[in-house]
């Protein structure tokens, strides 16, 4: 026969078991959150490691050849006299005429 004491003991055992299940679920959820954080950190650490390795590879490359030294004695060259004269097309400036037949220079002088 079932007694009141045995029913109370069973109810207590069920309550304890439910609490343990809830605590276990809470721990599982916390562990899952920590696992997600760890995976994210691992991903960041891998990217940081890859960047460090790229930087290290770049730093390990030999330095490029230095530019040749400039000879300052020849830095300023005087061109020959023939090279200093403007070409004929540039030397002889022709007046430009607008649609009314006025040269631009006269038009500027009149309006200014």
Encoded tokens for 105:
């220079």
Q: Is the pTM above the cut of 0.85?
A: no
**Pair 47, 55: CB distance under 8 Å:** no
Encoded tokens for 33:
């959150």
**Pair 104, 96: CB distance under 8 Å:** yes
| Dihedral (CA of 33, 37, 38, 40) sign | positive
**Measured distance CA(24)–CA(30) in Å, rounded:** 10
- Span 41-86, pLDDT tens digits: 999 999 999 999 998 888 888 878 888 877 777 667 777 776 677 6
- Span 3-36, pLDDT tens digits: 777 888 899 999 999 999 999 999 999 999 999 9
What string of DSSP letters covers 20-83?
HHHHHHHHHHHHHHHHHHHHHHHHHHHHHHHHHHHHHHHHHSPPPPPPPPP-GGGSS----HHH
Encoded tokens for 82:
């023939």
Q: What's the confidence (pLDDT) of residue 42?
A: 96
Greater model confidence, 94 or 35? 35
């Amino acid at each position: 026969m079932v007694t009141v004491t045995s029913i109370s003991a069973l109810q207590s055992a069920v309550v304890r078991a439910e609490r343990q299940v809830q605590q276990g679920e809470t721990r599982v959820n916390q562990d899952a959150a920590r696992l997600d954080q760890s995976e994210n950190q691992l991903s960041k650490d891998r990217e940081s490691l890859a960047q460090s390795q790229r930087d290290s590879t770049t730093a390990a490359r030999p330095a490029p050849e230095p530019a040749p030294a400039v000879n300052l004695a020849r830095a300023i060259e005087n061109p020959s006299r023939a090279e200093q004269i403007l070409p004929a097309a540039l030397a002889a400036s022709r007046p430009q005429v607008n649609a009314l037949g006025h040269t631009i220079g006269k038009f500027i002088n009149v309006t200014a």
